[in-house]
Chain A
Amino acid sequence: MRVIKEPLFHFILIGIAIFGWFNWVSPQSEGDDKGEKIAINEVDVDLLSTRFEASWKRAPSEAELEALIDALVREEVLVREARKLGLDKGDQVIRARLAQKMEFLTTAIASSVDPDEAELQAYLEDNAERFMTPSLVAFDQVFLGETAEPSEMAEVLSALNSGEDWSQLGVPSLLLQTMPLSALSVVDSAFGRGFSGNLTDLEVSVWSGPIQSGYGKHLVRVTGIQAGGLPPLDDIREAVLSEWRRETGDDLAQAQYEILAAQYEIQTPTGEGDDQ
């Protein structure tokens, strides 16, 4: 796991605050089971009627609302009795639901953490490959055929340098004669692996070669070149931030889990692997 000191610290602070708040409010809402009183208030009724409207596109009638309230009371009674009997213990669905709610809580917190400038910059540099803009090259090419004698090549080259119409020289072919400014990978997918690598060091506007492609030999005139690189953070901040969030969200959630798990002494039968 990546260690993220700064955000983790914020994260823990927020976490403590939220879990603390839940601790503080939960006894009030759930704690009066002993009183055996079930009170349905206006807020509950409003909620029932809103839900009804959402599915039926109209307000519930008196009778329908009455039935909804009865159902809610019935559910509450059954839930309380079930709890007393301990029926919630060991139920895989309830356990999964509770665990899921905790996960929601931690990921929600994780997504609210803002990294500082240095953190984001470091992330950009660590993942440079993903954010790099590609190097581009544009060129004209004259195809010499699968093989070319040095003498033929010299002949074409001298014709080129004497200003003859280059597009009429060499062996006719379906290959692109003029490649517009394109990423090196695009050039390689048209001319074969490694072709572009031989272009980037050529002098611009000068016929050079022979350069080997997947088809044979070429004379090439580079007409433009634009080095790729890592754009400054400011230009791509939003993209970097969203990638950082997506990636660190998992790490932060895992860190939170580890903090919680550290409160327990965990024993498993030795010699057995995990259940994955």
Chain B
Amino acid sequence: MLRNYACLVAMVFGPASVLADAVPSKEAAEGTFAERPFSPYANRTFPERPLWGDTHLHTGLSLDAGAFGNTLLPDEAWRFAKGEQVISSTGQPVRLARPLDWMVLTDHTDLMGFAPDLQAGKPGVISDPKGLEWYEGYKAGGEEAGKTAFDIITNFSQMTLPEILLESYSPGADAFAFTWEHIVLAAERHNDPGNFTAFIGFEWTSVPKGFNLHRNVMLRDGPIRALQVVPPVTQPPYGDTDPKALYAWLEEYEAKTGGRAVAFAHNGNLSNGWMFPTEDTYHGGKVDEEYVQNRARWEPHYEVTQIKGDGEAHPYLSPDDPFADYENWDVGNLDITELKTEDMLAGEYAREALKRGLMLEEKFGVNPYKFGMGGATDSHTSLATAEEDNFYGKSVSVEPSPTRIQHPFIANDLGEIPGDLLVASGYTAVWATENTRSAIFDAFKRRETYATTGPRIGLRFFGGWEFDEGDLETRFLADVGYTKGVPMGSDLRPREGDGAPKFLIGALRDPIGANLDRVQVVKGWLDAEGELQEKVYNVAWSDDRPLDSEGNLPDVGNTVDIETASWSNTIGASELITVWTDPEFDPAERAFYYVRALEIPTPRWVLYDKLRFGIDLPEDALLTHQERAYSSPIWYTPSE
């Protein structure tokens, strides 16, 4: 292919005499064009299939991952994501059922590269007394190593790391720059446009006083731009936990390199209310014009579901939504140094944030929380596993074993997150026209993404003013959707006539997964009194169940056999399609709409552990659940 291309270049640019020689022979030309068009995407104008990926994964280069014994580096992480079998850090052969199409590798930048040096007892580490103590603890293994890892992470979050270690593994130090180079070059080696996209990225690990304000960053660019910078950190004096510092870095990155980057937050549920502020920011700032503009500019995406809890909705905030209580973690902040109180919840969950965004847009003219939805694993094992029957846990210490379920994620005097609450979630689907860095990145920018808790549910969601029942007859749903409306992540086109917005929605079950129970539209709006409202509508469902007068639907049932961890698709539907019109539309009110599609009940990962290891589960362990997909919203803004 390369040679053919060179030939083509010669034909276009070469002098006349060369041109004559460069005309390919008949056989060569046939070889070229019979194989495939030069662009495999020729003739395609809109995305035809969702591209599946993970936006959040750690390797042994991350401080905490490495301290917990992760010895797999980016190469293994990439090979695993592409579908190759690898040997996990605990020596177990592991492989994904289906390869991913793309991934963002996001190692923690603070003390990036320290962990492998700790594991190897490098002089730079053990020349420090604390470093030597940690090295000996790590080498001792077992309980001792666990304590060591915990001590390292405590010192990190309390900002009491030994100065010399901090200096040697922070921006300005060779080790830091080389680790960044390692990350960048590994991504480049594995980036295979058209087949698999490897994004260069990192996690900016802001966790002041244990309040999770983490952001992941993905670059649209390759090494030429990425290597002109090193990523930002949060530990002073080398960095700052204030998101303003991250925005400044992003600004500088784009200005200096001409590249493009986005940031996205996750686990608002562990921020104790600081993730989506409306008045004051954690760092003593105000939610002012500058704040809303920065947030809107740099954060067009939110990681709504992952291993440390699902963050779409919370039953306290959405008491009328029977499905809001899904894999929530609401005990406290990240290290449970402060317990959760109910007033914190509104600053933590995606649905509430989308609502708050409408209010702030009314105030500032800019919506800081206008984000698309995605799911990610946040695994610290280098293994992007989000499937219930192939779940490798949060860290190496809880890779599959008969005892892993007894290890709490965290436990202290204030509270506990027991091990069985880890969530085998999630992935992000992207509607991009080709599998390349630029196409996928651009889809993130226009929010044409959706989240799932793991299964590959197909989800189309279009909004417009002209859809009608006749559109359900079409065999080209996407053609109609893009022609008559806008896709998920967009603003509705200006209102025409006096009708309500209509939505064309299609959901398709995972080809090797469970049937669908129902499709819902979640609407949030700012009413005439300035109050934020929400409502969940059942819009399509299986098995001809009747809606009651309140719009509630009977449960779909449950076919899970606890003894064998199996279920059957005898209930639910393979596919659900509908056109839905907002029955309570008020053209004067700002609103957003997103789709939630639910599967029929299936086994949770703990049930596979019970079966495969022959162990007893904690009595209150949840055995089945309804996995789901969350689309990015479509927004409506009243015209002036």
Query: Hey, which bits of chain A sit against chain B, CB under 8 A?
Result: 92-93, 96-97, 100, 130, 134, 136, 146, 167-168, 172-177, 180-181, 183, 185-186, 188-193, 195, 213-216, 224, 226, 235, 242, 246, 275
| B508:A175 contact, CB within 8 angstroms | yes
A173 x B575 contact (CB < 8 A) = yes
Partner of A146, one of B36, B83, B574: B574
Assuming the contacts A185-B98, A215-B511, asked whether A190 and B49 have C-beta atoms less than 8 A apart, the reply is yes
Chain A residues positioned under 8 Å from B94 (CB to CB): none
Q: Are B475 and A172 in contact (CB under 8 A)?
A: yes
B165 contacts A by Cβ under 8 Å: no
Known: A100-B123, A173-B575, A174-B506. A193 touches B44 (CB 8 A): no
Nearest Cβ on chain A to B296's Cβ, whole angstroms: 33
Contacts A/B (CB < 8 Å), 5 sampled: A92-B132, A97-B123, A174-B507, A186-B101, A190-B49
Q: What is the bound-complex CA distance between A183 and B435, given in angstroms?
A: 12
Partner of A181, one of B40, B83, B121, B577: B40
In the assembled complex, which residues on chain B have CB atoms less than 8 Å from the CB atom of A136?
36
Q: For chain B, give the interface size range.
A: 35 or more
Question: In the assembly, what is the distance between CA of A173 and CA of B508, in Å?
Answer: 9
B458 at the binding interface (Cβ < 8 Å): yes
In chain A, what residue has the closest Cβ to B458?
A174
User: Nearest residue in A to B194 (C-beta to C-beta)?
Assistant: A183
User: Is B122 part of the contact surface with A, judged by Cβ < 8 Å?
Assistant: yes
Decide: B123 and A93 in contact? CB cutoff 8 A: yes
* Known contacts A96-B121, A185-B83, A224-B36; is-contact A174 B577 (Cβ 8 Å): yes
Once A96-B121, A174-B577, A185-B83 are accepted as A-B contacts, the answer to whether A134 and B195 lie under 8 Å apart by CB is yes
Q: Report the nearest B residue to A181, measured CB to CB.
A: B36
Counting from the closest, the 3 A-B pairs by CB-CB distance are: A214-B511, A192-B511, A97-B123
Contacts of A215 in B (CB 8 A): 511, 574
Give every chain A residue within 8 A of B126 (Cβ-Cβ). 92-93, 96
**Interface status of B35 (Cβ within 8 A of chain A):** yes
CA distance A250 to B6 in the complex (A): 37
Task: Identify 11 new A-B residue pairs, CB closer than 8 A, beyond the known A185-B98, A193-B97.
Answer: A96-B121, A100-B122, A130-B84, A174-B507, A175-B508, A177-B476, A181-B40, A186-B101, A189-B98, A192-B511, A215-B574
B48 within 8 A of A: yes
CA of A242 to CA of B2 in the docked complex: distance in angstroms? 19
Q: Are A189 and B460 in contact (CB under 8 A)?
A: no
- CB within 8 Å of A: which B474-521 residues: 474-477, 506-508, 510-512
Closest to B139 in A: A275
Cα-based distance from A181 to B511 in the complex (angstroms): 20
Residues of A within 8 A of B577 (CB): 174
Task: Report yes or no: A180 in contact with B575, Cβ–Cβ below 8 A.
Answer: no
- Please tell me which one of the listed residues A93, A168, A185, A235 contacts residue B475 in the complex, with CB atoms under 8 A apart: A168
Contact B475 A189 (CB under 8 A): no
Do B52 and A189 have beta carbons less than 8 Å apart? yes
The minimal Cβ–Cβ distance linking A75 to chain B, given in whole angstroms, is 16
Q: Which chain A residue has the least Cβ–Cβ distance from B37?
A: A181
Q: Is the CB of B351 closer than 8 A to any CB of chain A?
A: no
Asked if B40 contacts A189 (CB within 8 A), the reply is no
- The minimal Cβ–Cβ distance linking B103 to chain A, given in whole angstroms, is 15
- B575 x A189 contact (CB < 8 A): no
In contact, A189 and B123 (Cβ under 8 angstroms): no
With a cutoff of 8 Å between Cβ atoms, the chain A residues found around residue B75 in the complex are 246
A175 to B506, CA, bound (A): 11
**Residues in chain A near residue B476, CB distance under 8 A:** 167, 177
Residues of B within 8 A of A92 (CB): 126, 132
Give B363 Cβ to nearest chain A Cβ, in Å.
Answer: 40
Contacts of B123 on A, CB cut-off 8 Å?
93, 96-97, 100
The CA-CA distance from A97 to B477 in the complex, in Å, is 65
> Which residues of chain A have C-beta atoms less than 8 A from B2's C-beta?
235
Minimum CB–CB distance for B150 against chain A, Å: 22
CB neighbours (8 Å) of A216 from chain B are 574
> Does B99 lie at the interface of the complex (its beta carbon under 8 Å from any beta carbon of A)?
yes
Tell me, rounded to whole Å, the shortest Cβ–Cβ distance linking B198 to chain A.
14
CA distance A134 to B196 in the complex (A): 12
* A246 to B474 CA separation, bound complex (whole angstroms): 53
A106 to chain B, nearest CB (A): 15
Q: Which residues of B contact A167 (CB under 8 A)?
A: 475-476
- CB of B401 within 8 Å of the partner chain: no
Q: How far is the CB of B143 from chain A (nearest CB, A)?
A: 17
> Is there an interface contact between A176 and B508, defined as CB atoms closer than 8 Å?
no
Complex interface: chain A residues within 8 A of B512 (CB):
192-193, 214
Report the bound CA distance from A185 to B435 in whole Å: 14
Tell me, rounded to whole Å, the shortest Cβ–Cβ distance linking A248 to chain B: 15
**Inside 8 A of A192's CB, which chain B residues have their CB?**
511-512
Residues of B within 8 A of A177 (CB): 475-476
Given contacts A92-B126, A235-B2, contact A191 B132 (CB under 8 A): no
Residue B473 lies at the interface, judged by CB distance under 8 Å to chain A: yes
> CB distance A188 to B36 under 8 Å?
no
Contact of A226 among B36, B458, B474 (CB under 8 A): B36
